[in-house]
């Protein structure tokens, strides 16, 4: 039989007493209750009392405890109480099991008694809830939906009952709420529920605290930290910081020139915030001109920027993150003009040549000026050299006409290189020049000009036909055919026949040549006119006088006019024996049709019977006695006189003169009959011959005189008579008769005067001065003489010996 005794409690301990009946073998059962975690020696129960055993019995009975493995309590026999032997941890002994107790027996000997004791251990809140981690980390995308749950796990509390885990608390936050659950096994756990969307961009990390609370008194708690990392979601597009970027750049900027930087930002991180820049909607050549660094957003120049092509660039740009979100903007690049274009001169039309007589104001060229630059850089002025007779006129903007300012003269300037200069107003200014080549076309405005105002040349007579006389030259300052000069001999009469019979001219070379051989004695001077004519239309011409002087040659021997040389008859001059010294026996009269020295005659005796008796005047041909004629001198004297001219070589003539030194004619005759072969036959013949000769001579001389008179009279009528003090030359007048074999020369001479001042007129004037005939001649006497001779056919009558010239 057993009795349960509820024992008194001391302090917070509850003692459960088991009162066992004192039976022999099987004793009573007692039960005690103690809180766990009692210190060693803590009172558990008074067994002596509860079992009803006194201390002596215990001692004698050697009461002791019989236990299994664990001896949590021990028996203090002398006090009869049970105390805690070692600290008791309920959680160790029982874990979750409740109620928790252990049982042991107390055994006594003498008599043997056995008592069972059960000790119940009550829970004490000795454990706080605890989490098995210090920190819980979550990575939650910011795109996580509201209501998403995140299990936080559970805390453990080995205590039981109220002392066990009761609830969880989550620190204050705006995104999550806490929900608590209990598993079927009764374990309580918590989870977070997203109640407001996360935004990484606002809050990239949340720090929360989860607290677990038990129900003990005092309460015990355990905490764990919760770190929420908000994961980025590409929820932000890049944004340019400007809607338009403006930049200015001068044209021709070199490659790599910085223009501007575009900047977009993306609130996202990582690849979601990695921006790449690019051009969008590229138009034309923009891609070749600009480059955009896809990472830095720097825009720079890569190609040629030409203001003249693009004044402004509008470039679309785009920024895109890796998530594919993008923004766009634009860059406006204004190109600043640089004076990089020189003006361009275009010759719209140009006449290659202009006639030199073109009127002032004639348009030569039309010029167009262009400058690709703008504003001042493109404002162009155009100019030419002021010295030229041209000017620029502009009626339409950028168009100029080049006109003549005055008349031109090809002979002065035949070609103009007109430099047109176009200059713009830039700084520095650029200019362009262009040379216009303008030829001045010839107009036949210049007549040929001879190199001399007159030409004078001479030629020896007896020239060969065709010999060239001289060359005339003429120049024409015109051009081409207007300057092609041809020479023409002008029509003119020379000696009654056309000039072309005497002289010819090569129309191209201007060389004058003789057509025939000239005879000075006929023609001493040729005067012709040569015309030089150019090839223009109409042609222009000028003329010049060419004088060809024919030079005399000694081509004529002197001709003896007197005494006449007869074939058979003997003519003799009679010298009276009474003649004094210096008696003029006769005079040898000779002429030379040459002129000048060629006609200077000299006389000398070549052969003479008696050299001491006669002499001949070297100049005048007068034969005179040198001494007194004596009776001893032979009747018949024979003289040979040589007449020589002064030419080179000289020519001469020989005349034989018979002189009879006698006082009577019969004496002479008797002497001279010796000369003949048959005297009786010759007497009559001689007489008749002399008579006939005298008659013929008389007739002829009369005729000559008449003709000369008529001729001279005509000249006198037609030509002027000029006074002159030129040398006076004695002249035997034609009317002076000297006929017959016995003729003696008169001692007094009659002269006619022929005066002239003008050599060209070659005329003579015969006048009778005081009953004497005097021939007056000028130095060109030879010519005059020749005319007279020619005119009178004098040379054909060589037997006439009335005309004597004395030099």
Ligand X SMILES: *[C@@H]1O[C@H](CO)[C@@H](O)[C@H](O)[C@H]1NC(C)=O
Give the dihedral of Cα atoms 509, 511, 512, 517; nearest 10 deg: -130
E-strand ranges in 506-557 read 511-514, 525-533, 541-551
Cross-strand bridge partners of residue 194? 176
Taking the complex as a whole, the smallest distance from the CB of residue 417 to ligand X amounts, in Å, to 4
* Sole window of 164-172, 261-269, 389-397, 766-774 interacting with ligand X (rule: CB under 6 A): 261-269
Closest approach of ligand X to the CB of residue 240, in Å: 8
| Residue 300 touching ligand X (CB under 6 A) | no
- d(C-alpha 602, C-alpha 517), whole Å: 29
Helix (H) or strand (E) holding 287: helix 286-289
Single out the residue of 247, 324, 335, 322 nearest to residue 292, CA to CA: 247
Q: Is 415 in the site for ligand X (CB under 6 A)?
A: yes
Nearer to ligand X, 542 or 673 (CB): 542
Residue in 130, 542, 609, 739 binding ligand X, rule: CB under 6 A = 542
Asked if 148 and 194 count as a contact pair (C-beta separation under 8 A), the reply is: yes
Residue 293 is a binding residue for ligand X (CB under 6 A):
no
Euclidean distance between CA atoms 99 and 16, whole angstroms: 14
Compute the least distance from the CB of residue 434 to ligand X, in Å: 12
What is the spatial distance between Cα 722 and Cα 744, in angstroms, rounded to a whole number?
36
Smaller CB separation from ligand X, 532 or 803: 532
**Which is closer to ligand X, CB of 436 or CB of 661?**
436
- Name the pairing type of β-strands 622-625 and 363-370: unpaired
CB atoms within 10 A of CB 219: 14
How many CA atoms lie less than 13 Å away from 282 in the CB half-sphere?
Answer: 11
Q: Which residue in 8, 60, 406, 417 binds ligand X (CB under 6 A)?
A: 417
Q: How far is the CB of 275 from ligand X (least distance, A)?
A: 9
Rule CB under 6 A: say whether 491 interacts with ligand X.
Answer: no
Q: Which of 308/490 has CB closer to ligand X?
A: 490
Report helix, strand or coil for 68: coil
Among the listed ranges 115-123, 258-266, 590-598, 798-806, the one in contact with ligand X (CB under 6 A) is 258-266
> Nearer Cβ to ligand X, position 169 or 529?
529
Which residue's CB is nearer to ligand X, number 310 or number 542? 542
- 454 interacts with ligand X by CB under 6 A: no
Q: What is the closest distance, in whole angstroms, from the C-beta atom of residue 237 to ligand X in the complex?
A: 15
User: Are 469 and 458 spatial neighbours (Cβ–Cβ below 8 Å)?
Assistant: no
- Per CB under 6 A, the list member of 9, 242, 606, 670 interacting with ligand X is 242
DSSP H/E element including 707: helix 679-718
241 binds ligand X (CB under 6 A): yes
Task: In angstroms, give the least distance from the CB of 299 to ligand X.
Answer: 11
Stretch that binds ligand X, among 182-190, 260-268, 384-392, 512-520 (CB under 6 A): 260-268
3-state secondary structure of 166: strand
Shortest distance in whole angstroms from residue 437 CB to ligand X? 5
CB of 125 to ligand X, least distance (A): 58
In which order are the strands placed within the sheet that holds 258-261? 258-261, 298-301, 290-292
3 state DSSP class of 271: helix
C-alpha 803/C-alpha 432 separation (Å) is 94
Q: CB-wise, 415 or 683, nearer to ligand X?
A: 415
Q: Which is nearer to ligand X, 114 or 449 (CB)?
A: 449
Measured from each CB, the residue nearest to ligand X is 263
Judged by CB, which is closer to ligand X: 97, or 242? 242
Q: Using the rule CB under 6 A, is 549 a contact of ligand X? A: no
Q: Which stretch binds ligand X (CB under 6 A): 46-54, 259-267, 393-401, 727-735?
A: 259-267
Separation CA 280–CA 782 (nearest Å): 120
Instruction: Count Cα neighbours of 786 within 13 Å in the Cβ-side half-sphere.
Output: 20
The least distance separating ligand X from the CB of residue 547, rounded to whole angstroms, comes to 14
- Within positions 580 to 619, which residues make up the interface with ligand X, using CB under 6 A? none
Indicate which single residue of 21, 26, 209, 261 sits in contact with ligand X (rule: CB under 6 A). Answer: 261
Task: Note whether 591 and 805 are within 8 A (CB).
Answer: yes
Neighbours of 593 (CB within 10 A): 23
Shortest Cβ distance from residue 433 to ligand X (Å)? 13
Which of 103, 241 has the CB closer to ligand X? 241
What is the rounded CA–CA span in Å between residue 723 and residue 778? 11
**Residues 707 to 746 in contact with ligand X, rule: CB under 6 A:** none
Q: Using DSSP bridges, classify how beta strands 188-194 and 239-240 pair: parallel, antiparallel or unpaired.
A: unpaired
> Is 529 a residue that touches ligand X (CB under 6 A)?
yes
CA distances from 393 to 253, 371, 421 (A): 38, 19, 14
Q: How far is the CB of 472 from ligand X (least distance, A)?
A: 14
27, 80, 129, 297: which one binds ligand X (CB under 6 A): 297
Residue pair 343/379 in contact by the 8 Å Cβ criterion: no
Q: Which of 84, 56, 81 is nearest to 70 (CA)?
A: 84
Total chain residues near ligand X (CB under 6 A): 14
- The residue (of 167 and 322) whose beta carbon lies closer to ligand X is 322
The residue written with tokens 């035997």 in the block is 732
Q: How far is the CB of 479 from ligand X (least distance, A)?
A: 15
Torsion from C-alpha of 394, 397, 399, 404, nearest 10 degrees: 0
Q: Alpha-carbon distance 302 to 739, whole Å?
A: 135
* Shortest Å, Cβ 519 to ligand X: 26
Residue in 70, 257, 296, 522 binding ligand X, rule: CB under 6 A = 296
- The residue assigned the tokens 């989490």 is 131
Closest approach, Cβ 329 to ligand X, in A, equals 10
* Residue (370 or 492) nearer to ligand X, CB: 492
Q: What is the DSSP string of 87-146?
A: ---HHHHTTT-SSEEEEEEEEETTTTEEEEEEEEEE-------B-S-SEEEEEEETTPPT
437 binds ligand X per the rule CB under 6 A: yes
- Indicate the burial class of 454 (C-beta count within 10 angstroms; 0-12, 13-18, 19 or more): exposed
Contacting residue, 199, 235, 294, 490, with ligand X by CB under 6 A = 490
Among 462, 543, 565, 709, binds ligand X (CB under 6 A): 543
Residues at the site binding ligand X, with contacts judged by CB under 6 A:
241-242, 261, 263, 265, 296-297, 415, 417, 437, 490, 529, 542-543
């Amino acid at each position: 039989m057993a009795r349960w005794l509820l024992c008194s409690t001391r302090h917070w301990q509850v003692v459960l007493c088991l009162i066992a009946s004192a039976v022999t073998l099987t004793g009573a059962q007692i039960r005690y209750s103690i809180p766990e975690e009692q210190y060693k020696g803590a009172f558990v129960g008074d067994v002596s009392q509860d079992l009803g055993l006194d201390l002596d019995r215990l001692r004698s009975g050697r009461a002791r405890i019989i236990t299994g493995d664990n001896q949590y309590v021990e028996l203090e026999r002398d006090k009869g109480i049970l105390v805690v032997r070692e600290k008791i941890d309920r959680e160790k002994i029982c874990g979750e099991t409740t109620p928790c107790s252990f049982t042991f027996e107390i055994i006594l000997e003498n008599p043997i008694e056995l008592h069972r004791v059960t000790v119940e251990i009550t829970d004490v809140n000795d454990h706080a809830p605890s989490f098995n981690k210090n920190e819980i980390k979550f990575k939650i995308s910011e795109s996580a939906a509201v209501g998403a749950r995140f299990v936080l796990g559970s805390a453990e509390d080995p205590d039981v009952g109220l002392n066990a885990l009761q609830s969880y608390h989550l620190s204050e936050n705006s995104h999550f709420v806490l929900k608590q659950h209990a598993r079927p096994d009764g374990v309580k756990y918590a989870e977070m529920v997203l109640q407001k969307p996360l935004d990484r961009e606002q809050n990239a990390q949340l720090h929360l605290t989860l607290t677990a609370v038990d129900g003990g008194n005092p309460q015990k708690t355990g905490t764990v930290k919760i770190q929420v990392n908000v994961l980025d979601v590409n929820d932000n597009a890049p944004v340019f910081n400007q809607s338009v970027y403006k930049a200015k750049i001068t044209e021709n900027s070199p490659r790599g020139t910085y223009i501007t930087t575009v900047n977009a930002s993306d609130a996202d991180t990582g690849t979601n915030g990695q921006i790449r820049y690019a051009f969008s909607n590229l138009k034309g050549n923009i891609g070749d001109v600009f480059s955009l660094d896809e990472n830095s957003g720097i825009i720079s120049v890569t190609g040629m920027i030409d203001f003249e092509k693009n004044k402004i660039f509008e470039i679309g740009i785009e920024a895109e993150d890796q998530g594919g979100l993008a923004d766009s903007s634009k860059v406006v690049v204004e190109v600043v003009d640089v004076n990089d274009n020189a003006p361009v001169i275009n010759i719209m039309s140009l006449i290659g040549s202009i006639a030199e007589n073109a009127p002032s104001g004639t348009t030569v060229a039309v010029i167009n000026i262009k400058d690709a630059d703008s504003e001042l850089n493109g404002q162009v002025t155009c100019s030419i050299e002021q010295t030229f007779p041209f000017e620029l006129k502009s009626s339409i903007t950028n168009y100029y006409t080049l006109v003549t300012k005055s008349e031109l003269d090809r002979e002065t300037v035949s070609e103009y290189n007109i430099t047109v200069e176009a200059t713009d107003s830039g700084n520095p200014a650029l200019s362009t020049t262009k040379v216009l080549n303008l030829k001045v076309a010839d107009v036949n405005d210049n007549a040929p000009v001879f190199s001399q105002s007159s030409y004078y040349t001479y030629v020896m007579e007896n020239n060969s036909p065709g010999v060239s006389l001289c060359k005339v030259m003429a120049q024409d300052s015109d051009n081409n055919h207007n300057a092609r000069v041809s020479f023409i001999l002008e029509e003119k009469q020379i000696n009654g026949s056309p000039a072309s019979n005497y002289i010819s001219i090569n129309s191209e070379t201007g060389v004058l040549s003789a057509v025939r051989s000239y005879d000075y004695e006929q023609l001493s001077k040729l005067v012709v006119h040569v015309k030089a004519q150019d090839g223009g239309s109409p042609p222009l011409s000028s003329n010049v006088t060419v004088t060809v002087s024919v030079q005399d040659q000694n081509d004529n021997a002197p001709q003896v006019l007197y005494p006449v040389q007869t074939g058979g008859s003997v003519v003799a001059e009679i010298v009276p024996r009474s003649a004094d010294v210096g008696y003029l026996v006769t005079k040898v009269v000779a002429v030379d049709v040459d002129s000048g020295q060629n006609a200077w005659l000299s006389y000398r005796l070549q052969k003479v019977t008696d050299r001491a008796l006669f002499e001949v005047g070297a100049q005048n041909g007068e034969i005179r006695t040198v001494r007194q004629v004596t009776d001893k001198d032979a009747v018949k004297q024979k003289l040979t006189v040589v007449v020589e001219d002064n030419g080179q070589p000289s020519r001469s003539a020989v005349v034989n003169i018979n002189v009879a030194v006698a006082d009577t004619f019969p004496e002479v005759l008797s002497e001279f009959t010796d000369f003949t072969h048959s005297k009786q036959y010759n007497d009559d013949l001689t007489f008749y011959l002399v008579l006939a000769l005298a008659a013929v001579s008389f007739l002829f001389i009369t005729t000559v005189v008449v003709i000369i008179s008529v001729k001279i009279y005509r000249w006198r009528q037609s030509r002027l008579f000029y006074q002159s003090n030129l040398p006076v030359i004695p002249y035997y007048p034609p009317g002076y008769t000297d006929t017959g074999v016995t003729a003696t020369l008169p001692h007094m001479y009659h002269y006619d005067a022929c005066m002239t001042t003008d050599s060209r007129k070659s005329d003579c004037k015969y006048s009778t001065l005081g009953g004497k005939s005097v021939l007056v001649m000028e130095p060109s006497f030879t010519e005059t003489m020749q005319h007279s001779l020619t005119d009178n056919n004098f040379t054909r009558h060589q037997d006439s010996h009335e005309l004597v010239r004395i030099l």
